[in-house]
Structure formats: structure tokens, C-alpha cells
Copies of this chain bind each other. A is one copy, B any other.
Amino acid sequence: MKRRDFLMGSAVAGVASVCGSRHVVAADKCCCDGMPKLAPPEKPAELNLCLQWGAIPGTEIKQKLDFLEANGFAAVEIPSGKWLSDNVEPMKKAMEGRKLFIATACGPSDFSYVEAEKRDAEVAKFLPQLEILGTLKSVGLIICPARSKPGLGFPELREDFVTNTGKKLAEHAAKHGTSIVLEPLQRKETMFLRQVADGAAISRDIGPGCTVMGDFWHMSKEETSFMGAFISAGKLLSHVHIASLKDRKVPGVDGDADNYVDGFKGLKLIGYRGAVSLEGGFPKNADKTQLILNMVKLLREQWAMA
């Protein structure tokens, strides 16, 4: 799949194609209440497997990208922060002529902006990262707003994020052809954003440049239904993290627990064409490459079953 196809059919471009200025569905699929209706996707969903930078065997950029292409991966998830600033030109060059697309950047992106006086500083920190991601044609920068503090004033924080802090980031992202990707975490990390449907509603309220992701590991704790969560995200879903479901390692090592079929059904229903990216560890002393290949096989089998 070419990245342009992904962008044309999925969230990042989707947030710019508007229905009532917010929604990401064809106008004829959008009722006058503005709520997207689930309709058969225009293009079928695709399983675009992806690895995070640190999990890819190899040390050089070229080595890592070669490994992905040789082993059935369609996308790569890169670090944000200093690595991103330092490697933008080598990455651009190394990506030339490849079938891979750059999914998200993930890294030191805690967005702990509880104190009002720190909000502008948090925004300023991320703007240059978004510009770089735009030049790399990346899907977006993963952030989770309002990491855990007890007793947060959630109504005010949500309002601020939708109209001010998150809005500024999303507008800048959209201007540079990328997005901010809201990641729901677990309640022990933040009460502010724990479910995909809530991230999707924030994303809808912010508008262009804001998307949402789902992480199977967090979802297994906070959601009641993988499928329901993904359907609620709909075309606002721009990224997915996956891990084994007992111990947050590479899928497959937790046996029967590692069942993603219900979630994959949801992804198929919404015509998802973004990346499904491993965010999980490896057992000690394991053959990492072999476990990655096992994961590819397992996820392809479960995708076919979904």
C-alpha cells in the first residue's frame, strides 16, 4: 500500500474532508446530527503490520528498513524527540523508493500540562516535531494529554485541550500534513483519557489535525469491547498498538490470551488502513527475530479469521 492511498482513505486526510466541518465521512453517510454512520468502507481494510524502532533487528537505519520490507511489514514507527530531530535527513533518504510508510512517532511525548502556565511551553515543545513529521509524511505524533495527577479538574482540562492546547497542536499538524494522535492509556496513568470512544469524541471536537489511536494492551484493561471501541473511533482512528495480552510482550507469547479477532473485526468494519504496530517487550534471552516472524504469522491468521 502506498502512503498516499492510506492518507486518501484514512484519518489524516479524512479530518480535512469534512462533513459539517468536523466529521470524516462522505457527506451522504452523515446524518444531520453530525454523527458518522457506519457504512461499508469505500476501500477494504488492510493489515499493515509495523514495528517500533527499538524492536527492529539491526543497528543502522537501512538495516532496519530492509528487515521490515523483507518480512512482511508495511510501516515503521519512529522515535520522537531528539532522535527525530537528529535523523530527519537520513530517514528521508533511507525511505526513498520503499513501499513502507512512516506511521507515528512515539517517544518522550508525555503531555503533562495540568498547570495553565505551562501549557504554552508544552505546545511550543511539540510544534517543531510536528513540522518534521510532516516532511517525513508521517501519520502523526502520539500524545496523551494530562498524565496522571490526582484530583484533576477534568471539565476545565477537556475544554482547554479542545479549544486551546490541543487545538493549536492539531492546527499546526494539519498545516504540515500530519496529525496529533491521542492515545488513551490506563486509569493508573491518567483518568483523563482511558477509552478510545472518548479520544474519538475529543478528536471530533478538535477537528482537522487530530486523530485517535487504540492500544490493545490498554484497551484490554479499560474497554469492554475491542470492536465497539474501534467502531467508535471510525475514520478518526489513525494508529493501533498491539502486544501480548497477559504480559505486554510480542503477540503470540501469551498463548490463547493473544486473541485479536474481535478487534480485527472492528478494524475491518471501519475500513482501517493504518498501521498495527508492536508496542511490547520480548522475553529474556528469546530469539527476537523468530518471535517477530511468529507474530506476523499469527496476526495474519487472525486477520483472515476476522
Contact = CB atoms under 8 A, between A and B. Distances in A.
Interface of A: 31-33, 35-38, 148, 150-156, 158, 187, 191, 194-198, 200-201, 204, 220, 222-234, 236, 245-246, 256-257, 259, 261-262, 265
A224 B245 contact: no
B232 A228 contact: yes
Q: Chain A: interface secondary structure? A: helix
A225 B220 contact: no
A35 B258 CA distance: 12
A135 B155 CA distance: 40
Contact of A220 (B33, B38, B236, B262): B33
A155 B187 contact: yes
Contacts of A36: 224-225
7 contacts: A31-B245, A32-B246, A37-B259, A151-B155, A152-B153, A155-B187, A224-B236
Contacts of A38: 225, 227-228, 262, 265
Nearest to A265: B38
A150 B155 CA distance: 7
A232 B236 contact: no
A155 B191 contact: yes
Closest 3 A/B residue pairs (Cβ): A228-B232, A228-B231, A151-B153
Question: Copies per complex?
Answer: 2
Nearest to A204: B224
A229 B226 contact: no
Contacts of A222: 201
Of the candidates A150, A153, A232, A262, the one having the most CB atoms from chain B within 10 angstroms of its own CB is A232
Contacts of A151: 151, 153, 155-156
Given A31-B259, A33-B257, A195-B195, A224 B233 contact: yes
Contacts of A262: 35, 37-38
Nearest to A219: B35
Contacts of A256: 31-32
B195 A224 contact: no
A35 B201 contact: no
A154 B155 contact: no
A288 B166 CA distance: 46
Contacts of A245: 31, 33
Of the candidates A32, A224, A256, A262, the one having the most CB atoms from chain B within 10 angstroms of its own CB is A224
Contacts of A223: 35, 197, 201, 232
B257 A32 contact: yes
Contacts of A225: 35-36, 38, 197, 200, 231-232, 234
Contacts of A226: 35
A191 B187 CA distance: 15
A151 B196 CA distance: 23
A211 to B, nearest CB: 12
Nearest to A198: B195
